[in-house]
Chains A and B, each alone.
Chain A
Amino acid sequence: MNLSFKFVILPTDALLWLVFLIIMGFVLFARGKMQLAAHWYQVFHRRPLTIIAAALLGVFLSISLLDSIHYRVMLPQNNNSDPNFYDAHISSVFDKIVSPLGTQTEKTYSSPLSSDPDLKNHYHILGTDKIGQDVFYVSLKSIRTGIVIGILTTLVMLPFALFLGLIAGYFQGLADDIIQYIYTTLSSIPGVLLIAASVLSMHIFIEKNPLAFPNIAERADLRLLSLCVILGITSWTTLCRLLRAEALKLREMDYVQAALSVGVRKTRIIFRHILPNVMHIIMIVIVLDFSSLVLAEAVLSYVGVGVAAETFSWGNMINSARLELAREPVVWWPLTAAFLLMFILVLSANIFADAVRDAFDPRLRKRR
């Protein structure tokens, strides 16, 4: 069968979908378990704000997932050409769904809902940017970048922080000393410097091996992924330190001593008695980090070591706003759009995480 398009699987697409499938698997698993299902019922029960937050998060997540199915369209065949002749431009399912939005471009800036006769009869609810692209479309496309950075960085950072933090706190002694030295050293290096150095060496690697990354989108995606990894490696120290302190405290609790006295093994104690009791800390730190990562992306793009300039991202939008705000009349809409979406994403993540934490803490459940 001859398809008229070809799927392209970028590394971040694969990872994002993998995370999504794991979450879905967990949801199906939880449905079977009465107790877990009851907890999730608690999350939403009589909490309209949480439901709204979850719905918004759901919308954001679906957009980013749809935006992560990439394909290349087969070009109309010339007479003697290769049958497998695909467009160099990679588009996503999301582009297809909102299809006229991405292609309706103007010459340059236009204000929101402008009906200026120079425009090509398109309404742009959030106006257009410098190269005439619809700002609404750009900010929607940026969702994927934000979510990818938030989720993948957490995914990289979490195992380090969890594993090292709990080991240092629970076993103490030499392991604790070594882990402490590592994170003290790591956090004494200025973060931006480390990230800039890593990103620049990544650039050089890409430039030197142009054949491995024939496509612009592939290169941009690799830059995004490497950014996530680097951010993850540099940002696990805070959570690790918190978890170490908490594990130090919990290991002396009577219930841990009681478990030891019936001969429960240490690994089981960590997973059964320590880990569930540090979950609230993990949850809080992840959500706070998620917000700061989205912001960090903006800062790094501003410095020039963030995502590629051609990637849609709130960071790039904010970066260009630097010049736009100096114009007369002020071009305020790209910045506002980026700000608004970031605000909605971070706020709903916070509200949702708060509800989840409350519902899963047996001590808080009865009080509401």
Chain B
Amino acid sequence: MDENNLLEIKSLSVGFLTHSGFLEAVHDIHFTIPQGKTVAVIGESGCGKSLTAHAILQLLSATCRIVRGSHIYWKEQDLLTLPELGMRKIRGGELGIIFQEPMTSLNPVYTIGEQLKEAIQQHKPCSRKQSHIEAIALLNAVGFPEPALQLIRYPHELSGGMKQRVMIAMALAGEPDLLIADEPTTALDMTTQAQVLTLLQSIQRAFKMSILLITHDFGIAQQLADHVIVMYAGQIVESSSIDHFFEKPLHPYTQQLLNAVPGIEKRHHRLAVIPGVVLPLTEKITHCRFAARCPHADKICWEKEPQWNLLDQNQRVKCHLYDKHYPVKKKVIEVSFNSASLITKSAADAKSLLTISNLKIHFPVRQGLLKRKRSFVKAVDGVNLTLYEGRTLAIVGESGCGKTTLAKGILRLLPISGGGIHLNDQDLAQLSLRRFRHYRQQLQIIFQDPYSAFNPRLRVSDIILEGVRTLQKKRNLFQEESLLQSLLEQVGLPQDSADRYPHEFSGGQRQRIGIARALAVSPRILLCDEPTSALDVSIQAQILNLLVDLQKERNLTYLFISHNISVVSYLAHEIAVMYLGRIVEYGDAKTLLESPKHPYTQLLLSAVPTIKKPKEIVIPVKINHTDLPSAANPPQGCHFHPRCPFVMERCKQEYPGMVALNPSQKVACHLYEN
């Protein structure tokens, strides 16, 4: 064993006992984590990356079994032979862990100080005073402002990013040599994510520890990792140092996955789609696990499992393409240009379809015995937007900025407090709900969470046709059937889906059902509320391609809500940036992404870890460690001023008006006035 290696995993296989047999979710993996380095494990959901982390920590569920012959060496000691008592000393101590969900990882009935001190005393018995001092030092290390005051706070008083910092501080309490971070920023906003990632980077240097980073995001891996491991169907298919990895991805799976990541430069391409599904792992597999989905697959791929091919000291791949004994010819994959390209008509040619003017949605806060309306949460506070026919307007912003409220307000699912929504010449905001029903079919919505979007007791056919049946006076079974079949075909679902229940489908398929349901009443405008944020990259590519196709076929207008800049830059024609209920910047997608003007837009764009960026990300604006303020009590003057690096005296006094910088870009910021 190499002296430098902290952790060495040798032929680890882990599986579940299921009704249909032993499901080997991790199959024969090898890797090492050297001292002081960051290793990223990348893969889509279900590839076994989290299970690997749990196996290292010995935190497996009761139905999990580690296959005999597996070894996990931690500093030359096999963890799998260690009794639970010995493991407890290592886990949380030398081996630290941060979980994905900071909301549930802290106990809500204890202050963060108590929880932190408990973690400290667990590994280093010391006096109360000593642990108090140490707790303050730890909070300081993870970038808490005024740590001494924060110790007496309860978890619910902190934002998600702050909770994740506490989790990191607790992991640091054990002075770990290796920190296992299981999707540490997936549940966080992009600006918070950027802060947590920079924090991880800096504490790694300060504490000289190793990190095992588990992620599905190439951008995060690019930013943090020294070495990347790609997992597919329970196997490691590629292992490479970070520089080689992004320069020259080897495995066809990695290549396709990288091509599936949307971005501005792919606007006129179709996103790469990996055909087929992951093969079932309950059977014994003797061929390449990716063969069925691989464009290069040859006879040998179906006969023999590929072995490791060492290309370079730092780059290994499990693929016959690189095998000297059985060379497989690489096929040229055509990238279909224009087949799904966005409609490129300029905004000037497009007809405006829906005009939102000064829309306000305020929620009353009732207090006291008589529940009087004391104050208002101004979730949407005077929004002006125009949707052009056949084009996509994207709304971006952090969670809690009012994006979803705006969409629900447009659909009149929430009461509107003021302003107008003009569809052609009809003001929808003025209509009574009864009269608004006639307009409902023109506006439809696709939801974010494909799991709560469908009534589990209804069959797919009933779900899709519900709207049609409501609108029709008389039922026409023949017409319904043909509509159903054509919708299923359009969204790419098998014809036999109609009689099945939503839980029988995967996340991506469910999102297709959601799209079919929305299309059933032939709407003109589709509100997409983060439709791909719950999906894997390769599935996301399929859905985005579908949305682009449908827009062309049906001349649909999209209002696309997202916090994912790369998705927005791929899909949107116009972008509006929203902050605390107001639009702060609006413009043509290309212009806005290339030259963001509002400091908030700049902050958002710099926070996105993209693959193309150099390793050391440069944040042009210094982020203040304050999180998004609450919409119930927005700051005086410009809402963004407490976080703004260019704040002026004027910003604290008055809210800036919208200034048109050029025909295709408007911004609400005092910097650009006059």
Contacts of B437 in A (CB 8 A): 263
User: By the criterion CB–CB under 8 Å, are B445 and A261 in contact?
Assistant: yes
A366 at interface by CB-CB < 8 Å: yes
Contacts of B454 in A (CB 8 A): 255
User: By the criterion CB–CB under 8 Å, are A263 and B413 in contact?
Assistant: no
User: By the criterion CB–CB under 8 Å, are B413 and A261 in contact?
Assistant: yes
Binds A, one of B187-195, B268-276, B331-339, B466-474: B466-474
A258: contacting residue among B447, B457, B501, CB under 8 A: B447
User: By the criterion CB–CB under 8 Å, are A258 and B445 in contact?
Assistant: yes
User: By the criterion CB–CB under 8 Å, are A254 and B452 in contact?
Assistant: yes
**B497-525 interface mask toward A, CB cutoff 8 Å, 1 = contact, 0 = none?**
00001011000000000100100010000
**A262-294 interface mask toward B, CB cutoff 8 Å, 1 = contact, 0 = none?**
111100100011001100000000000000000
Residues 341-368 (chain A) with a chain B CB within 8 angstroms? 361-363, 366-367
B457: contacting residue among A257, A259, A362, CB under 8 A: A362
Residues 312-364 (chain A) with a chain B CB within 8 angstroms? 361-363
Measured CB to CB, the closest approach of chain A to B76, in angstroms, equals 43
**A235-275 interface mask toward B, CB cutoff 8 Å, 1 = contact, 0 = none?**
00000000000000000011101111111110010001100
User: By the criterion CB–CB under 8 Å, are A254 and B517 in contact?
Assistant: no
Contacts of B116 in A (CB 8 A): none
B455 at interface by CB-CB < 8 Å: yes
**A190-208 interface mask toward B, CB cutoff 8 Å, 1 = contact, 0 = none?**
0000000000000000000
Contacts of A259 in B (CB 8 A): 466
User: By the criterion CB–CB under 8 Å, are B413 and A362 in contact?
Assistant: no
User: By the criterion CB–CB under 8 Å, are A254 and B447 in contact?
Assistant: yes
Contacts of B408 in A (CB 8 A): 257
B441: contacting residue among A263, A277, A361, CB under 8 A: A263
B411 at interface by CB-CB < 8 Å: yes
A263: contacting residue among B445, B448, B471, CB under 8 A: B471
A283→B517 CA distance, assembly (Å): 31
User: By the criterion CB–CB under 8 Å, are B443 and A363 in contact?
Assistant: no
**B518-544 interface mask toward A, CB cutoff 8 Å, 1 = contact, 0 = none?**
000100000000000000000000000
A304→B437 CA distance, assembly (Å): 59
A257: contacting residue among B445, B458, B470, CB under 8 A: B445
Which of chain B's residues has its CB closest to A364's CB? B503
Measured CB to CB, the closest approach of chain A to B410, in angstroms, equals 10
User: By the criterion CB–CB under 8 Å, are A363 and B456 in contact?
Assistant: yes
A362: contacting residue among B411, B444, B501, CB under 8 A: B501
User: By the criterion CB–CB under 8 Å, are A263 and B467 in contact?
Assistant: yes
A253→B456 CA distance, assembly (Å): 11
User: By the criterion CB–CB under 8 Å, are B466 and A276 in contact?
Assistant: no
User: With contacts A276-B457, A362-B501, A366-B504 known, is A261 near B452, CB below 8 A?
Assistant: no
Measured CB to CB, the closest approach of chain B to A142, in angstroms, equals 38
Residues 395-421 (chain B) with a chain A CB within 8 angstroms? 408, 411, 413
Contacts of B504 in A (CB 8 A): 366
Measured CB to CB, the closest approach of chain A to B548, in angstroms, equals 23
Contacts of A255 in B (CB 8 A): 452-455, 463
B266 at interface by CB-CB < 8 Å: no
A353→B445 CA distance, assembly (Å): 38
Contacts of A362 in B (CB 8 A): 456-457, 501, 503
Measured CB to CB, the closest approach of chain B to A278, in angstroms, equals 11
B411: contacting residue among A253, A261, A277, A363, CB under 8 A: A261
B449 at interface by CB-CB < 8 Å: yes
B652 at interface by CB-CB < 8 Å: no
User: With contacts A261-B440, A362-B501, A366-B504 known, is A273 near B455, CB below 8 A?
Assistant: yes
Most buried by B among A253, A255, A276, A363: A255
A273→B502 CA distance, assembly (Å): 14
Residues 597-617 (chain B) with a chain A CB within 8 angstroms? none
A268→B463 CA distance, assembly (Å): 14
Contacts of B452 in A (CB 8 A): 253-255
Measured CB to CB, the closest approach of chain A to B608, in angstroms, equals 27
Measured CB to CB, the closest approach of chain A to B417, in angstroms, equals 17
Measured CB to CB, the closest approach of chain A to B429, in angstroms, equals 16
A253→B470 CA distance, assembly (Å): 19
User: By the criterion CB–CB under 8 Å, are B444 and A276 in contact?
Assistant: no
Measured CB to CB, the closest approach of chain A to B170, in angstroms, equals 32
Contacts of B447 in A (CB 8 A): 254, 257-258
Contacts of B457 in A (CB 8 A): 276-277, 362
User: With contacts A255-B453, A362-B503 known, is A264 near B445, CB below 8 A?
Assistant: no
User: By the criterion CB–CB under 8 Å, are B455 and A363 in contact?
Assistant: no
Contacts of B467 in A (CB 8 A): 262-264
User: By the criterion CB–CB under 8 Å, are B471 and A262 in contact?
Assistant: yes
Which of chain B's residues has its CB closest to A368's CB? B19
Contacts of A261 in B (CB 8 A): 411, 413, 440, 443-445
Contacts of B19 in A (CB 8 A): 367
Contacts of B471 in A (CB 8 A): 262-263
Which of chain B's residues has its CB closest to A264's CB? B470
User: By the criterion CB–CB under 8 Å, are B413 and A262 in contact?
Assistant: no
Residues of chain A whose beta carbon lies under 8 Å from any beta carbon of chain B? 253-255, 257-265, 268, 272-273, 276-277, 361-363, 366-367
Q: Across chains A and B, which 10 residue pairs bring their CB atoms closest together, nearest first? A: A262-B467, A254-B453, A362-B501, A276-B457, A254-B447, A263-B437, A263-B440, A255-B455, A363-B503, A254-B452
13 residue pairs of the A-B complex, CB under 8 angstroms, read A254-B452, A254-B453, A257-B408, A258-B453, A258-B517, A261-B411, A261-B440, A262-B441, A262-B444, A262-B471, A263-B437, A273-B455, A363-B503
Other 12 A-B pairs with CB < 8 A, given A255-B455, A260-B411, A362-B503: A257-B447, A258-B514, A259-B466, A261-B440, A262-B441, A262-B444, A262-B466, A277-B457, A362-B457, A363-B456, A363-B501, A363-B503
Residues of chain B whose beta carbon lies under 8 Å from any beta carbon of chain A? 19, 408, 411, 413, 437, 440-441, 443-445, 447-449, 452-458, 463, 466-467, 470-471, 501, 503-504, 514, 517, 521
